[in-house]
Amino acid sequence: MPDKVRGTFVSQKINKVRWKPEDLSYSSYFVTGSWDDQVNTLMLWSNPRPDDDPDQLTVKTASLNFSGDVTELLFIDDKRFIASSSHGFAKLFEIEFLDLGKALFKELIVWDKLHEFSYENCCPCTGLACFEEDIATIGEDGRIALLTARQKNPLRKIDKADSCSLHCVCFLKYNEVLTGNIRGHMKVWDLKSQSNKPATTFMMSGDQIAASCVTFHPTQRHMLLVGGDDGSLTVWDMRHNTFPVTVLSAHAESVSELKFHPDRPEHLFSCSADGDVWHWNTSTMSRGTRFSSSSDMSIDENPWLSSDAAKHRIEVLSTMPKLHKPVNSLDVNHSRLICSSDNEAVYVINDVIP
């Protein structure tokens, strides 16, 4: 492994890894959630920046047993995060720091039985999305549950939102949620409407490919990127959503997560089940367009929405040597990327963007 990649073996397969956000500063803590083990755990790790500590040791500072696989982890502010479980519940935690560099997870709210089957008790909650304190969870039962971090009772449950298992979810606006199912069937839900029917539906492709993950452009929320189970990347412009703008055949196997750099949206990161972590750099392309169209912010300002993307002109770099097991999750904060894999290791990569 090259110098800028630091691997730590953590003795559990990590399904989700997230930097703990810091106000106006760099993150030096991250949270991991494991899956598939006899006893799964949530763990908090400290990992100082190389400037602060050249050794950059990853140290476990907190750990908590978790029932079921951790299927999603999301921070809603710099202390509180939500974790969803394959046992059908979600929990809101707060990180509390103690003396001697130790910390603990404080359980604030438990939303039990968000997802359930009619004949079996345990139905996995497959994902969740947040818009400030509003939360939407999805499950294999095809239900959408709407919660708020302020109360224990769910705001609303949309039963049979989908007849198949839902696999990815995101907020398009404060009142719009998008879900994708195991057949790549995408639905947009208007939360203001009381009917249990989606506002719009469209297919990712005709080939029954599951939508494995979804993300939106940080500054242009109408631009949507969907990762497929076949490794493809589909770009949608939600202002006219019936057909994708671009379909890129990207990874060789299922795309497990997609993430735009929060502050510098010209950088996108993706990871896949065949062990790759890729960095998609569109800064060179967007600069070109910016000069040509000088002042006005045209629609095609976003290189992902221009047809250039289809011509594979986006610069794609591999951020670390290919791993031999699926990479499940990644997160990026300032210049540092973190990713986790089924080989029971977590890798911190320094200086991923210049």
Partner 1 sequence: MTVPMDKITFVIPDLLSRNATIGAKWCPGNKLGVFFGATPKEEKRCNIHGPTKVHQVCQEVILFNPISRKLINEANGVFLALQNVTSEESNPCGRRAELLKLSRWYRSIIQACLENLQDAAKNEENEKDTYLNLVTVCYNIEFIWHLCEILFIDVIPGGVVLPQFLEWIKFHFFQPERKAIALINTLYGSQNQDDEPETHPDYWNTVTQLVLQGRLDLAKSLLSLHSKSYSEPIKRLEYMLKTMPFYRVYGGLSVTEFNIKWKCWQNECIKHLEDGLYSSDKNLELIVMLLAGDNRGFQQIQELCETWYQYMAAVLLYTEPTVKCFDLSFHANRCINQLGLADTLKSLDVILLALFDSDLLEAIKLIGEGIENGWFAAHLTDLLYHCGCVSLVDNQQINLTAEMREQLLLDYASMLMSHSSLWQVGVSYLDHCPTLGREYLEVILPTLPLTSEKRALKILQVAQSRDMPETVCSICKVLGMRSFKQNRLGNALAWALRSQDSGFATYLADRFLERYSRDGKFDSTDLLENLGSCMVLSDRLTFLGKYCEFHQLYRRGDFQEAANLLVSLMVSRLAPKYFWLTLLMDALPLLESNEIVLSSEDTYELLDCLERLTLGGTSRTKSLVDTLELNKHVKASDVDSEDLLRDKVDLIRLALGRNLARSLIHEACNIPDQDQKMEKDF
**Residue closer to partner 1 (CB basis): 109 or 129:** 129
Tokens of 54: 């050249």
Contact in structure between 250 and 234 (CB atoms under 8 Å): no
Min dist CB 18 to partner 1, Å, is 18
Among residues 187 and 334, whose Cβ is nearest to partner 1?
A: 187
**Nearest approach, Cβ of residue 67 and partner 1 (Å):** 12
Of the pair 162, 266, the CB lying nearest partner 1 is at 162
CA angle 282, 283, 287 (to 5 degrees): 120
Least separation in angstroms between residue 241's CB and partner 1 is: 15
Sheet holding 125-131, edge to edge: 125-131, 134-139, 144-148, 156-158
Q: Under 8 Å CB-to-CB from 281, ≥6 apart: which residues?
A: 266, 267, 314, 315, 316, 317
- CA angle in degrees (0–180, nearest 5) for 279-285-287: 115
If the CB atoms of residues 148 and 205 are measured against partner 1, the closer one turns out to be 205
**Where do contacts with partner 1 occur on this chain (CB under 8 A)?**
9, 11-13, 35-38, 69, 71, 86, 117-120, 124, 126, 140-142, 162-165, 167, 181-183, 185, 187, 201, 203, 206, 208, 210, 229, 253-254, 273, 324-326, 342-345
Minimum distance, C-beta of residue 204 to partner 1, in the bound complex (Å): 11
Q: Which is nearer to partner 1, 73 or 305 (CB)?
A: 73
Q: Is 147 left (phi over 0), alpha (psi -120 to 50) or beta?
A: beta
**Number of Cβ within a 10 Å radius of residue 160:** 10
Positive or negative torsion for Cα 122, 207, 250, 173: negative
Pairing of strands 90-97, 103-111: antiparallel
Min CB(290)–partner 1 separation in Å: 39
Of 9 and 174, CB closest to partner 1? 9
CB of 12 to partner 1, least distance (A): 7
Residue 51 beta carbon to partner 1: minimum distance, rounded to whole angstroms: 26
Tabulate helix, strand, coil % of the chain (nearest 5). 5, 45, 50
Q: Which H helix or E strand runs over 289?
A: helix 283-292
Report the residue number, 198 or 303, with the smaller CB distance to partner 1: 198
